[in-house]
Amino acid sequence: MATVHRVRGLWTALRYRGREGMWTWVLHRATGIGILLFLIIHVVDTAIVIYWPGLYDHALALYRNPLFRFAELLIFFSVLFHGLNGLRIIVQDFWPAAMRHQRRFALGALGAAVVLILPVAWIMLAPLFGLRAEPGSARHEARVNARHPSISDYRGPAQAAPPVAPVTEARP
Amino acid sequence: MSSLVRNRRGGYDRPARDQRSNFELYAWFFMRISGLALIFMALYHLTWWNLIVGVEHLDADLVRERWTNPFWRLFNVALVSFAMLHGLNGLRYSIEDYVRRPGVRLAVKTVAYAVVLLSLAWGIFALLAFNPAVPGR
């Protein structure tokens, strides 16, 4: 019978001689749980859009608080790291020779996530400090203009619909 | 890792008899398949809404416009199903690692399964029941 040893906590886990493998394992867990918690809130509040679109817009207004932008960036980083590290695990599972380089791969996954989050952080955070327009601004303007055409396209008042004679229902 | 038995040393052992179920193998395989799909689907989703559309410009109308196309509703059904089930199984691994007492473990698992599966059901219901032609729906 194999005894399952007690896990003594985060500090033990970090000092444990697993090094890169252990650190990425802890980070994989933490990001996984974080993403799941966010996902539950995200799905429940997005789904209300079908019955209560006003309430949905109200929730979005709350999320416009700059604090949420940092949280969204953290989620983005979590997904990036969890995905890249998961990819490393899959590669090592199906291609055992890769195990010989697992330390380098673990650091590679973390490093790639950090490098990829940099441009994302710039796009998402710079608007908060007035350094850049909000992402998608041009797209948004084009959309609004399509809905409300410019005054130069105005062709005069719309023609009133011709009066229609009231329809009397024929009784059987 | 399920159903550990308490031993005399105060720890927990795996049951001696093999449980004749391939559940753990399927779970392992599902984590790889869904994980691989999620790398593309979740990162696309994040890039689209955060970097291309911009959450600042998001509103109910934009969601209605997007969901008018059944492809995106089906894409979202697949995305939310993969993500929730992948997350639930990951949560199960964590619970089995840290919650050792069988009674407490059962209680924690029941709550976790209920919360995740109900949110998943509510999300899928919204995507399938959505009707762009009905205002307020």
Domains of chain B, each with CATH number or no CATH: 31-129 (1.20.1300)
Q: pTM for the whole thing?
A: 0.82
Specify which of A162-166, B34-38, B65-69, B133-137 reaches the highest per-range mean pLDDT. B34-38
Interchain pair B120, A76: CB under 8 A: no
Distance of alpha carbon B36 from alpha carbon A84, whole angstroms: 10
Residue A69 CA to its chain's centroid (Å): 11
pLDDT at B131: 85
| Token code pair at residue A165 | 């004679």
Confirm if B66 and A121 have CB atoms less than 8 A apart: no
pLDDT at A17: 73
Helix (H) or strand (E) holding B13: strand B12-13
pLDDT at B129: 93
Summarize pLDDT for A24-39 with one digit per residue, the tens. 999 999 999 999 999 9
Q: Number of C-alpha atoms within 13 angstroms, CB side, residue B125? A: 10
Interchain pair A120, B125: CB under 8 A: no
Interchain pair A6, B11: CB under 8 A: yes
pLDDT at B134 over 60: yes
pLDDT at A154: 64
Confirm if B24 and B18 have CB atoms less than 8 A apart: no
Q: Where does the pLDDT of residue B128 fall: very low under 50, low under 70, confident under 90, or very high at 90 and above? A: very high
- For residue B81, the one-letter residue type is S
**In a 3-state reduction of DSSP, which class is residue A95?**
coil
Summarize pLDDT for B32-63 with one digit per residue, the tens. 999 999 999 999 999 999 999 999 999 998 99
Per-residue pLDDT, averaged over A101-122, amounts to 96
CATH class of A11-147: mainly alpha
**In degrees, to the nearest 5, what angle opens at C-alpha B1 toward C-alphas B98 and A8?**
25
Summarize pLDDT for A70-106 with one digit per residue, the tens. 999 999 999 999 999 999 999 999 998 988 899 999 9
Interchain pair B42, A54: CB under 8 A: no
* Burial (CB count <10 Å: 0-12, 13-18, 19+), residue A3: exposed
Mean residue pLDDT of chain B comes to: 90
Q: With a CB-CB cutoff of 8 Å, which residues 2-41 of chain A face chain B?
A: 2-7, 29, 32-33, 35-36, 39-40
Contacts across the A-B interface (CB distance below 8 Å) = 145
pLDDT at B19: 59
Per-residue pLDDT, averaged over B79-100, amounts to 96
pLDDT at B105: 96
pLDDT at A147: 76
In this complex, is the C-beta atom of A165 within 8 Å of any C-beta atom belonging to chain B? Answer: no
| Choice between B64 and A119, residue whose per-residue pLDDT is larger | A119
| Residue B12: φ, ψ to 5° | -130, 140
ipTM for this prediction = 0.85
